[in-house]
Structure 1
Amino acid sequence: MNIFEILREEHDNISKFVDKFEIMAIDLMEKNEISIEEYTKAIEFIRVYADKTHHQKEEELLFKAMLETKDEMANNLVNHGMIVEHNLARLYVWELENALKAYQKEPTVKLKLAIVTNTMSYVYLLRRHIDKENRVAYPYGERLLSKEVIEKLNEQAQNYMK
């Protein structure tokens, strides 16, 4: 598999998670109960798989290579688009974690709202973000980068975090 196939496959896995994450927020609204354990596992998945495995692979391999071309469009796409969205996703997870901790100490409607809001903010952001990367960022990278650079990225992606 090449780097683009690997990243798209990871997107498929993240998309499946995002659908389940949305159901968790709906369940909280409908059933008025929350599983802290489920949310803790969800945050762990986000941090380990979506962020550390996937987003860092993009940032350290693909986006870095795109930026090294000094292409203005790549710079705008990466620095003013994809990286901003990665950081926004991290913020939503951080806010969610804080709301969960506070909710455990004192379960209020306001904190429940914060949990649902940050969960759904993450869900909506990731759905749009994945679509943009699949339809715009990756195809642009495939056109922009030389065959040699892509081959090097393919090898690095295969060995990333092994």
Structure 2
Amino acid sequence: MSPTDVLREEHEVILRALGILERFGRDMQQGKSVNPESLRWLADFFKNFADRCHHGKEEQQLFPALEKLGVPREGGPIGVLLGEHEEGRALVRAFAEADPRTAPQAIRRYVALLRDHISKENEVLFPMSDQILPPQQQQELMNAFEKVEQEVAGPEVHRRFHEGLARLESETTP
């Protein structure tokens, strides 16, 4: 398994959560009630799993490794992706703290942003990373990713978030 394989697998989990969030936003837009505890759980998922853990691996490990190999931050893909990480953080705060009348707009913007962002990484950045990162550096990144997992998330975070997503999917499946 390569570092980009790890990040792609995490993207799949994030996409599942985006599907649930999108349903919540649509329900709220239509005036239907949404369990506030479930919405808070999703906000926590995006703050901790998607941002601190997943984006942490990218920002602290992958992006600096690519920059050292000549991939530019400014005017290049890394700068664009970092800007989207920041925009995503603001949108999570917006839907987590918004009242039910304004949350659907922030949710729609966040879902669209992250789906587009994931596509850019999966289709452009990760294939480029796979080509330019030598095997030794890929192994070093795998070790660094494990360290991020332990320091940022703790050993149970993936299990907890996977179980929570499965629960929400079963509760929200039409």
Category of TM-score, reference length = shorter chain: 0.7 to 0.9
Q: How does 1:36-75 map to 2 (within 5 A)?
A: 36-72=36-72
Which residue is equivalent to 2:28? 28
User: How far apart, CA to CA, are the structure 1 residues paired with 2:90 and 2:47?
Assistant: 12
What amino acid does structure 2 have at the position aligned with 1:57? K
Percent identical residues:
27
Gapped regions of structure 2 (runs ≥ 5): 151-174
What amino acid does structure 2 have at the position aligned with 1:89? G
Is the contact made by 1:11 and 1:130 (CA closer than 8 Å) also made in structure 2?
A: yes
Q: Does 1:15 align with 2:15?
A: yes
* More divergent stretch after superposition (150-159 vs 89-98): 150-159
User: How far apart, CA to CA, are the structure 1 residues paired with 2:97 and 2:148?
Assistant: 30
Paired residues in the alignment total: 150
User: How far apart, CA to CA, are the structure 2 residues paired with 1:146 and 1:75?
Assistant: 24
TM-score by length of 1: 0.85
Which residue is equivalent to 2:94? 95
Which residue is equivalent to 1:106? none
Displacement of 1:158: 3.1
User: How far apart, CA to CA, are the structure 2 residues paired with 1:75 and 1:157?
Assistant: 26
Displacement of 1:50: 0.5
Displacement of 1:95: 1.6
C-alpha root-mean-square deviation of aligned residues, in Å? 1.8
What amino acid does structure 1 have at the position aligned with 2:37? E
Is the contact made by 2:56 and 2:148 (CA closer than 8 Å) also made in structure 1?
A: no
Is the contact made by 1:66 and 1:74 (CA closer than 8 Å) also made in structure 2?
A: no
Is the contact made by 2:67 and 2:73 (CA closer than 8 Å) also made in structure 1?
A: no
What amino acid does structure 2 have at the position aligned with 1:58? E
Gapped regions of structure 1 (runs ≥ 5): 104-110
